[in-house]
A and B are shown apart, each in its own frame.
Chain A
Amino acid sequence: MINLAQKEIAHTLGKFIVTAMGVGMLLGIVLIMMGVYRGMVIDAQVLLNDLDVDFWIVQENTLGPFAESSRIHEDLKDTIKVIRGIDKSEGITFQNLQLPSKEGAIRVFAVGFDPFGDISPINPKRLIKGRSINKSHYEMVVSDKTGFKLRDVIRLGRDDYKVVGITHGTVSSGGDPLVYISLKDAQELQFLYSNERIRADRARGINTLNSHIVNAVIATKKSGYDTNIIAKDLRRFKHQSVYTKKQEKTILTKNLIKMASKQIGMFTVILVIVSTIIIALIIYTMTLEKMKEIAIMKLIGIPNSMIIKMIVQETLIMGVLAFISGNIFAHLIYAKFPKRVVLEIPDASMLFIVVIFASILASLVGVKKVISADPSEAIGG
């Protein structure tokens, strides 16, 4: 039996492919949007995974340094270290900094850690050049995204910092490149005021010299101990909140990027609707262009089912071709985006199902036109 859709497509192949590619670009953008969301989720977890700690002890009634301001005393790490089941414990700071460069200020997310401590946030696998920090002061490891090179000197606050290591793929949940400095430097940058301010505070009777503050204390457990039991023990301490690794991940991936994911979700839905409308309009126009042929087919007795099958098949082929070209388009451009874009097969599969459903929906306008076509239009010009 003659496949009318196949014959019609072959007859207008160039036009059909170009049209499908146009729709495909829209679908490619949908894939990119999904990829941006996936990238945000992965970015949010980089630091968390690199630290790989079991507990986050933060200021009471806060969600921790990634979500809101959190300040606790550094010496809490020593108290926590002796709790039954705890293996390692360290203080850590996080802050946004603007690094001066020739191109202007570069916004980074700085992690302050004790270079001589038990827990390091620098994943050796990500260190592509140089070394980690091995001095108490004035050394910095930067992400390659910052554009700094080994031995570059960066002025921060009152001091100069030397770049001793370069990492790759290290970004914060906000997409800012990560830099690593010693805990002492970080505390000074974050908590130590200028000499004038200290003098002014002293005159007011306020002692602001204490910079032994951290944003969180992180801890790992010994093997064989139950995470929830240790967390319960840690929560007995007053003036602090405790989150397990799983809870901290939830805070990062769900709470923090919830709005962003909704935003991206809205864009994705709108783009899918726009794609559906465009496919429907294309199919409608294509159907209008062949109304004479459809009228002739109806006149010579070709059943509606055959003509409808042609329209639906054409729409589905258009959808599939658009999906394929959309994928190719997305894979060609995703690496050029400044933020991480992750294209995943499950997302593409989901989009494929949506495209097929949208194509069937879009074909209905063509089908309606076929059903209403009057065979007598073929007669009498």
Chain B
Amino acid sequence: MNAKQAIKVENLVKNFGKGDSFVEVINGASFEVNKGELVALVAPSGAGKTTLLMMIGCVEEPTNGTIWLGEEKIYDNKWLTKETRKIRREKIGFIFQAHYLIPFLNILENITLVPQTNGVSEEESKKIAFELLKYFEIEDKAYAMTSELSGGQNQRAAIARALANKPQIILADEPTAALDSKRSVDVVKMLKKIAIEQDVAVIMVTHDEAMLPLCDRILKIENKQVVSSKIVKDKVIL
């Protein structure tokens, strides 16, 4: 296990159903993502991108395999902890296609909710939140409700929320799907910047090929397995 490694997956298998309804989605996927890396996860619709993301995110239990989060093995044919939700809360940040901020909380409360749940004091949580809001240039929207912000501002607030617990890994499920091409590029560049500056691994599910050259690597699901591709000078090398 190298020190730069944020996540490592070995021989991950995911099946659904039994008998006639049996479906094999992932069969023996192995890959790793390092800290500071922005990785795109691509595959045709229904190939299991979201399922893979949910398994890495401790939401969906795999059928078999091994998952390391940092240096901690969290899954070895079964969850090694009952507190998968705690792992999500403390080590993983989620970004979605829509911002999915909680509408009855203001932006500041949305960002401080997870750190406060982790036991960080209210004062410290606010300090972290304001730093992030400043970083994303929406500091003046701290006390605004989500309905008062534009789509782009909300998405930045959602990214700030994902970072508030200082995660080891950020899982982004099509974060640019609802944005125009210029804003999409801005968001992916921002994720890249975050990956480097915050030293976190970012796995981004995307259908937008124009975003791929902005990533460090591509993970492609092929034949129920994960194939890694490198990107050299904005070109994908398979």
Residues of chain A whose beta carbon lies under 8 Å from any beta carbon of chain B = 1-2, 4, 7-8, 10-12, 292-293, 296-303, 306, 375-376, 378-381
Q: How large is the interface on B (under 10, 10 to 19, 20 to 34, 35 or more residues)?
A: 20 to 34
Residue B113, interface by CB 8 Å: yes
The A/B interface has a contact count, at CB < 8 Å, of: 74
* Chain A residues whose CB sits within 8 angstroms of the CB of B87 once the complex forms: 301
Q: How far is the CA of A12 from the CA of B102 in the complex (A)?
A: 13
Docked-complex contact B173 and A380, CB < 8 angstroms: yes
- B135 on the A face (CB < 8 A): no
A1-B117, A302-B114, A379-B50 known, 18 other contacts, Cβ within 8 Å: A1-B116, A2-B105, A2-B109, A2-B112, A2-B113, A11-B145, A292-B100, A293-B104, A296-B100, A300-B114, A301-B85, A301-B86, A301-B87, A301-B92, A301-B114, A301-B165, A302-B117, A303-B117
Provided the pairs A2-B116, A297-B102 are in contact, do residues A379 and B90 lie with their beta carbons within 8 angstroms? no
Most chain A CB inside 10 Å of its own CB: which residue of B57, B94, B104: B104
Question: Is B64 an interface residue when CB atoms closer than 8 A count as contact?
Answer: no
The distance in angstroms between the C-alpha atoms of A2 and B102, with both chains bound, is 13
B103 touches A293 (CB 8 A): yes
| B59 lies within 8 A of A7 (CB) | no
Q: Known contacts A1-B116, A302-B117, A380-B173; is A11 also within 8 Å of B104 by CB?
A: yes
B161-182 contact mask (Cβ, 8 Å, vs A): 1 or 0: 1000100000001000000000
A381 with B104: CB separation less than 8 A:
no
**Distance between Cα atoms of A1 and B54 in the complex (Å):** 28
Q: Are A11 and B103 in contact (CB under 8 A)?
A: yes
Shortest B166–chain A CB gap in Å is 13
Task: Give chain A residues whose Cβ lies under 8 Å from the Cβ of B122.
Answer: 1
Mask of B92-131 contacts with A, CB within 8 angstroms, 1/0: 1010111010111100010011101100001000000000
Among residues of B, the one whose C-beta sits closest to the C-beta of A293 is: B102
CA distance A12 to B53 in the complex (A): 34
Contacts of B89 in A (CB 8 A): 300-302
Enumerate chain B residues within 8 angstroms of A296, measured Cβ to Cβ.
96, 100, 102
Contacts of B97 in A (CB 8 A): 381
Name which residue of chain A comes closest to B108, CB basis. A2
Distance of B81 from chain A, by nearest CB (Å) = 13
